[in-house]
Structure 1
Amino acid sequence: MHIPVIVQTVGLLTLSNVFMTIAWYGHLKGLASKPWWIAALISWGIALFEYLLQVPANRIGYTQFSLAQLKIMQEAITLTVFVPFAIIFMDQPFKLDYVWAALCLVGAVYFIFRA
């Protein structure tokens, strides 16, 4: 069974972003009462899984996409992971600014991927 490069790349980058978002921001709520160095060590441990997914994602993606395309893809995925995380896990209110930021990223994706 052959999985297309775009599916592999987006799938791995999405999973890596879940780990990255938890590592970067999850400690603000989940470990708020712990000393910063404990939060940092736990975050580094979580970030290891992010790298174990992100590195192969970029290696696979680079066989078909340019470096700029990979970066813009990463940024678009980051926003799609971050917004639900902020709203659901961090109890942040939804902001219309998320929509405007998403539209800007749609534009970035368009310009970087157009022929």
Structure 2
Amino acid sequence: MSVLAAMNLPPSIISILLLIASNVFMTVAWYGHLKYAHSKPWLLAALLSWGIALFEYLLQVPANRIGIGVYTLPQLKIIQEVISLSVFIPFAVFYMNQPLKLDFLWAGLCLLGAVYFMFRGA
């Protein structure tokens, strides 16, 4: 975080960048084991996922603490959801070899609607 602060970025951008990094770890922790460790015992997959999720929390907690100073709680949550889908789709397509579907676009448009409602009048 100190690197981002040293770059004189506004808290709104620092929060978003930390949430993006956090979501990369979150996505890998939640779904990455399905590619290579799906035949391993679930306890091993859970422990591996928890280890990865630690890094998610080390980024997510400061991201939310910084973000709450510039966003409302609902705005912060909807930013998180948009970032989550934005990270998940490339992960699913490029890492997990899932087909790119038009449904991803429709889901993204629904989230844009949610963003509109959370930020209108802000």
Shorter chain as denominator, the TM-score bin is over 0.9
Point out where structure 2 has 5 or more consecutive residues left out of the alignment: 1-6
Structure 1 residue 66 displacement after superposition: 0.6
Say whether 1:41 aligns with 2:47: yes
How many positions carry a matched residue from both structures? 115
Say whether 1:8 aligns with 2:14: yes
2:96 maps to which residue? 90
2:4 maps to which residue? none
Identity %: 65
Structure 1 residue 31 displacement after superposition: 1.2
Return the match for 1:99 from 102, 105, 109. Answer: 105
Distance 1:63 1:6 in 2: 8
Structure 2: which amino acid aligns with 1:37? L
Q: How large is the Cα RMSD of the aligned pairs?
A: 0.8
Say whether 1:52 aligns with 2:49: no
Structure 1 residue 87 displacement after superposition: 0.2
Return the match for 2:79 from 73, 79, 82. Answer: 73
Structure 1 residue 39 displacement after superposition: 0.5
Superposition TM-score, scaled by structure 2 size: 0.92
Of 1-10 and 52-61, deviating more is 1-10
Structure 1 residue 93 displacement after superposition: 0.2
Structure 1 residue 14 displacement after superposition: 0.4
> What CA deviation, in whole Å up to 9, does each residue of 1:7-62 have, x standing for no partner?
10110000000000000000001212311111100000000000000000000000
Structure 2: which amino acid aligns with 1:39? A
Structure 2: which amino acid aligns with 1:53? L
Of 50-59 and 2-11, deviating more is 2-11
Point out where structure 1 has 5 or more consecutive residues left out of the alignment: none
Superposition TM-score, scaled by structure 1 size: 0.97
- Runs of at least 4 residues off by over 4 Å: none
